[in-house]
Amino acid sequence: MLYLSFEASNSVAATLESATLAPALADVRVGGDDGAFSAVERLFAVVNGPTGSDNPQRQGFDSALSDGRGPLNVLGGIPTVATDYSPLWDVNQAVWSDEAIAKGYRSRVIEEFQILGLVRQGWLTGGPGAEFGSSGIIVNCPIVMRML
């Protein structure tokens, strides 16, 4: 999939995406993905996934910052497959729990329902002391080509 990053509501997200900082995007209502009239699509961004440029399981911000490659985020829906697709992405940060890491469960995640199942089991959270869900960060990244 090829997408273009135009704007982000948060300076860190804008920097990571090489996009323009657009603070007014923070006014877009979040948390309503897959609901009627939602303006957003969920983007699942793993924070502390496996690292190593040669690791086929690599994923996340830690990996991207250490090896300079993309974070391999997961999008909740894509055009032509999801009829409610939006180019405004509501960033949902996922953090592997210490217990999941200790048990060897940390691996690359590839789709929305897998992620939501891991959240339900407590292996993925929103971070230390935070529930999983919207971070409130919006990025405008329309998909321009599917590779399938």
User: Model confidence over 73-100: pLDDT tens digits?
Assistant: 999 888 777 777 889 999 999 999 999 9
- Indicate the average pLDDT of the chain: 91
Total structural domains in the chain?
1
In this structure, what token pair is assigned to residue 95?
A: 């953090």
Residue 139, pLDDT above cutoff 80: yes
| 119 close to 105: Cβ distance less than 8 angstroms | no
Q: Dmax of the chain from CA atoms?
A: 42
State the DSSP code for 18.
Answer: T
Question: Which stretch of 42-46, 47-51, 127-131, 140-144 has the lowest confidence by average pLDDT?
Answer: 127-131
Burial of 55 (0-12, 13-18, 19+ CB in 10 A): middle
Residue 112, pLDDT above cutoff 70: yes
Structural domain including 61 reads 2-145
Q: What mean pLDDT is predicted for residues 102-124?
A: 97
Q: What mean pLDDT is predicted for residues 65-72?
A: 90
Find where tokens 């961004």 sit.
Answer: 45
The predicted structure's pLDDT at residue 33: 74
The predicted structure's pLDDT at residue 18: 87
